[in-house]
Amino acid sequence: MNPPFSQLDSHGRLRHLITLDGLGRPLLEELLNHADALAAQPGRPPARGVALRGMTVANLFAEPSTRTRASFELAARRLGADVVNLDNALSSRAKGESLLDTVHTLLSMQVDAFVIRDAEPGVQERVAREVDGLASVVSAGEAHLSHPTQGLLDALTIRQCLGGFDGLKVAIVGDVARSRVARSAHRALATLGVTEIRIVAPRAMLPGAAEFPGARRFESLDGGIAGADVVMMLRIQHERGGDAGPADLAAYHRDFGLTAARLALASPKAIVMHPGPMNRGVEIASDVADGDQSVILRQVANGVAVRMAVLAHLAESRGAGAR
Ligand code: NCD
């Protein structure tokens, strides 16, 4: 059996960011506060800094990505790092090279941080054990299990738009069972003090009873979003397999698609969120995605700021460890 592994150092600082599990409220708030200071301001150029000057960040993405990958790259560059991007199809992993051989190859090129997305559970921890003390690992999405920077950017967006977390009702809607976004949002929001988290899904897409501790479960969209302050819609994760995906997308839209009429059941000031990519006309109607209550592009903007804050934190704790 593997010896225990911790993403935290002896001072409670992150050496890696693989999951939000086990991270306390003060650490999450520190990351959100830093990200908030770096967040995009209308009409102003993007925030920049030197926290990663001299460092090299490698993005290793074994699953498709638009927002997460672009924002990790921009975050690293805006803080002064060199960035190298590898994806499975175009790298030597397509020739059969193991992930750990790829990692050691990049370590010899003096990579300091590995940003990893993979469909297989446990890959980020495996690499972190291998490079511990030499480089940091940041998860950019682990199977259906976790997506920590997404959880943070969702929390930041909610805090900016609604002023805090006290007393909020947050509905997470759609293919919850197969969603790493839902798991990390639940973890972040529960840690930050949201007391009413609802998971809303057709029965086949509801997760097991032990997951999402404390969340209320709804099998009807109307009941699940009634009076909600936040409505977070999720894409159907067809690529994760299983038989939970609906055969009939029009029927899914009828029963679980967020339309303007349905949104009227939520709080009048409710915000609409979606991690992207959206399937318009399936889980969300186009006019809602583009409507006044949508904060979907703000989530995207906050993704860069959150990833800057996380990379800066890791650089700082590595620097402190080296001193
Ligand atoms: C999500 C992901 O990859 O988990 N997207 C993202 O990171 N913004 C959600 C999805 O693919 O549906």
Confidence at 3, pLDDT banded by 50, 70, 90 = confident
The answer, yes or no, to whether any atom of ligand 1 lies below 6 A from the CB of 186, is no
Q: How far is the CA of 259 from the centre of ligand 1 (A)?
A: 21
Nearest atom in ligand 1 to 117's CA = 3
User: Which residue's alpha carbon is at the smallest distance from atom 8 of ligand 1?
Assistant: 275
Q: How far is the CA of 177 from the centre of ligand 1 (A)?
A: 14
Q: State how far the Cα of 114 lies from the Cα of 103, in Å rounded to an integer.
A: 8
Nearest atom in ligand 1 to 180's CA = 4
Q: Residue 242: what pLDDT? A: 77
List the structure tokens of 157: 């967006």
Pocket perturbation via mutation, ligand 1, pick of 147, 180, 282 by most ligand atoms within 8 A of CB: 147
- pLDDT greater at residue 311 or residue 40: 311
Q: Residue 98: what pLDDT? A: 86
What confidence tens digit (pLDDT) does each residue in 58-95 have?
999 999 899 999 999 999 999 999 999 997 766 777 67
Neighbours of 94 (CB within 10 A): 10
Q: How far is the CA of 89 from the centre of ligand 1 (A)?
A: 19
Q: How far is the CA of 77 from the centre of ligand 1 (A)?
A: 22
Please provide residue 310's backbone torsions phi and psi, each rounded to the nearest 5 degrees.
-70, -45
Q: Work out the mean pLDDT of the chain and round it to a whole number.
A: 94
Does residue 254 register a pLDDT over 50? yes
Mean pLDDT of 147-153: 98
DSSP 233-248: E----GGG-SS-S-S-
Q: Residue 323: what pLDDT? A: 44
Q: By the 8 A CB rule, do 51 and 316 touch?
A: yes
The answer, yes or no, to whether any atom of ligand 1 lies below 6 A from the CB of 144, is no
- Report the sign of the C-alpha dihedral through residues 227, 245, 69, 185, in that order: positive
The answer, yes or no, to whether any atom of ligand 1 lies below 6 A from the CB of 150, is yes
Percentage of the chain beyond pLDDT 70 is 96
Q: State how far the Cα of 141 lies from the Cα of 294, in Å rounded to an integer.
A: 24
**Domains (ranges, CATH) in the chain?**
25-145+301-322 (3.40.50.1370), 148-295 (3.40.50.1370)
List the structure tokens of 301: 């903007």
Pocket perturbation via mutation, ligand 1, pick of 59, 61, 150 by most ligand atoms within 8 A of CB: 150
Q: How far is the CA of 313 from the centre of ligand 1 (A)?
A: 23
Q: By the 8 A CB rule, do 238 and 282 touch?
A: no
Helices and strands, counts by H and E, the chain: 11, 9
What confidence tens digit (pLDDT) does each residue in 191-248 have?
999 999 999 999 999 998 899 999 999 999 999 999 999 999 999 998 888 766 677 9
What confidence tens digit (pLDDT) does each residue in 286-302 have?
999 999 999 999 999 99
Q: Taking the model in full, what pTM does it have? A: 0.96
Does residue 278 register a pLDDT over 80? yes
- Ranges of beta strands (E only) in the chain are 56-61, 82-87, 113-118, 136-142, 169-173, 196-200, 216-218, 230-233, 271-273
Residues 6+ apart with CB under 8 A from 143: 118, 119, 120, 121, 180, 240
Q: Residue 319: what pLDDT? A: 82
The answer, yes or no, to whether any atom of ligand 1 lies below 6 A from the CB of 15, is no
Q: How far is the CA of 323 from the centre of ligand 1 (A)?
A: 37
- The helix, strand and coil proportions of the chain, stated in percent and rounded to the nearest 5, come to 40, 15, 40
The answer, yes or no, to whether any atom of ligand 1 lies below 6 A from the CB of 68, is yes
Q: How far is the CA of 320 from the centre of ligand 1 (A)?
A: 33
